[in-house]
Amino acid sequence: MKIYNLFPLLAGPFGDWKPHLERAAAMGFDWVFVNPIQRPGHSGSLYSIADYFKINPNLLDPESGKSPETQVRQMVAQAHDLGLNMMIDLVINHCAVDSSLVKAHPEWCVREGDRLVNPYCLEEDGTKTVWGDLAQLDHRHSSDVEGLRRYLDDVILYLVELGFTGFRCDAAYQIPRDFWRRIIEDARSRHPDLVFAAETLGCSPHETRETASAGFDYVFNSAKWWDFSSPWLLEQYELTRQIAPSIGFPESHDTERLFSESGNNVEALKQRYLFVALFSTGVMMPIGYEYGFRNRLHVVATRPEHWEEPAVDLTDFITRVNRIKSDYPVFQEEGPIQKLDHPNPTLLLFWKASTSGNGEALVALNKDPWNRQHFHCYDLYRHVQAATPLQDVSPEWPVEHLPTPFDFELGPGMGRVMVSGMA
């Protein structure tokens, strides 16, 4: 899956989405993921859903004369015409505190005495962040778990009828595995081709494995935060890769913009996208990354007028990376990965293989997005098992012949991508 995250509040009414869909398709993405489009509660947060069966009025064109659902379906039809599948957030861990569900079905909500329990998370520094606009749904101990499950089955059916065939399952790890298994099985009994991806960020590998085993097609990984050196990412990858393939991303709506974080370094944008796209089975990129947007996406306050003047244009680079991913099966699966020793500590050299016998890859990445680094390898072929020649398919400055020994001056953040086997 090559996923473009089209953030609804930045894109505006559905009728204005076509240029964004066209740009995503032109860059080689095959899925578009949109954050929640249902009517929010009083906080206005996309993730504080008050009515699962109504559309957010901020995304509608009041002059169109067409029903909200028709406006959504027309947008989805435009995406399909461009060869794009549509994925949406499935937010069933909680609802808005002012949702009618809270009064109509108090037994579906977690309570301490008469008080609603709000979801929370623990930050890295130990700080507890509580979302006061949310009510935690009780998937474990409700006196009517089956009623809650049937209601959420209907929510999925409603989104499928709008044209969505993929679901990013928000805070999936907070919902019991058996509950997910029933939800996924019921949905697929009616629509066998639905795709479910679990948001498991912050989970331990064990928790990720447990969640993924409920029937999820994908999990989201933490490649965005890797320093290219520490062992933890490869350890997590190895522990989970045989349970479910993963989706990597260079930034998300939950993070700061990488362009700002990196000090407006274009090479850092290219470096991170190349890495996550080739490391993981799937890749997801949020709207604006291709233009070096600096302002973080906000689930309440972002509006179309916050569209930024492009600082860069990486659409061509991203297109080339996506083409590499599409052309070579080794980059389309969670095959074994080994980090290889290299005398230059500022270089990352890793080997990846296809479990289905469709080739191998060597990737050399300059960890430093500011300075050039020399890459020397006496014999590239000692790192691969295949007898077929390696070919350089790098998105920038590929060479026609890979000599032995091999020397190359890597620009800041630049990667060399070498593959064996046919495309």
Point out which residues pair with 136 in neighbouring strands: 94
Q: Could you report the per-residue pLDDT of 116-130, keeping only the tens digit for each?
A: 888 877 665 667 778
| Residue 334: pLDDT band with limits 50, 70, 90 | very high
Q: What is the pLDDT of residue 304?
A: 97
pLDDT above 90 covers a percentage of the chain that reads 82
Helix (H) or strand (E) holding 2: strand 2-6
Q: How far apart, in whole angstroms, are the C-alpha atoms of residue 148 and residue 94? A: 12
> E strand or H helix at 248, and its extent?
strand 246-248
Asked whether the predicted pLDDT for residue 387 surpasses 80, the reply is no
Structure-block tokens of residue 359:
């080739």
| Pairing state between β 85-90 and 373-377 | unpaired
Pull the structure tokens for residue 312. Answer: 């860069």
> pLDDT, tens digit, for every residue of 223-273?
999 999 999 999 989 988 888 999 999 999 999 999 999 999 999 999 999
At 28-70, the pLDDT tens digits run 999 999 999 999 999 999 999 999 999 999 999 989 989 999 9
Q: What is the pLDDT of residue 268?
A: 98
Nearest to 183 by CA among 156, 147, 211: 156
d(C-alpha 120, C-alpha 134), whole Å: 9
pLDDT tens per residue, range 9-34: 999 999 999 999 999 999 999 999 99
Which tokens hold the place of 339? Answer: 């980090």
Instruction: Give the residues across from 169 on adjacent strands.
Output: 90, 198
Name the CA dihedral angle for 418, 420, 422, 423, rounded to a multiple of 10 degrees: -30
| pLDDT of amino acid 124 | 59
Cα→Cα distances 251→53, 203, 206, 260, 416, Å: 30, 18, 24, 11, 22
- Residue 374 DSSP symbol: E
Q: What is the pLDDT of residue 93?
A: 95
Q: What is the largest CA-CA distance in the chain?
A: 73
Structure tokens given for 24: 């995503």
Specify the CATH number of the domain 338-420.
2.60.40.1180
Backbone angles phi, psi at 237, to 5 degrees: -60, -45
Cis preceding linkage at 389, omega within 30:
no
Buried b (16+ CB within 10 A) or exposed e, 344-376: eebbbbbbbbbeeebbbbbbbbbbbbeeebebe
Q: Mean pLDDT for the chain? A: 94
Where does the pLDDT of residue 208 fall: very low under 50, low under 70, confident under 90, or very high at 90 and above?
confident
pLDDT, residue 122, reads: 64
Tokens 């949109």 belong to: 34
Dist. CA 97–CA 43, nearest whole Å: 9
C-alpha distances out from residue 142 to 119, 311, 387, Å: 16, 51, 60
The dihedral over CA atoms of 240, 244, 248, 251, expressed in degrees to the nearest 10, equals -90
What is the band of 415 on the pLDDT scale with cuts at 50, 70, 90?
very high
Contact, 402 vs 378, CB < 8 A? no
Section 397-406 average pLDDT:
91
Give the pLDDT confidence score for residue 422 in this predicted structure: 64
Render pLDDT for 286-303 as a digit per residue (tens, 0 to 9): 999 999 999 999 999 999
Tokens of 31: 């899925």
Phi then psi for 34, rounded to 5 degrees? -120, 140
Helix (H, G, I), strand (E, B) or coil at 118: coil
The residues, ordered by sequence, that sit 6+ positions from 49 with a Cβ below 8 Å of its Cβ are 36, 38, 39, 40, 41, 91, 95, 96, 99
- Counting residues of the chain whose pLDDT is more than 70, the rounded percentage is 98
Residue 365 has pLDDT above 90, yes or no: yes
Task: Copy the structure tokens of residue 131.
Answer: 């979302």
Element (H, E) at 38: strand 38-40
How far is residue 327's CA from residue 389's CA, in Å, rounded to a whole number?
17
Q: Read off the pTM.
A: 0.95
Residue 351: pLDDT band (50, 70, 90) is: very high
In this prediction, residue 193 carries a pLDDT of: 96
Q: List the CATH code of the domain at 2-92+145-333.
A: 3.20.20.80
- Say what the pLDDT of residue 205 is: 78
Please, what is the end-to-end C-alpha distance for the chain in angstroms?
17
pLDDT at residue number 55: 98
Three-state SS at 33: strand
Q: Give the number of other CB atoms < 10 A from CB of residue 53.
A: 11
Boundaries of every domain in the chain = 2-92+145-333, 338-420
Give pLDDT, residue 240: 86
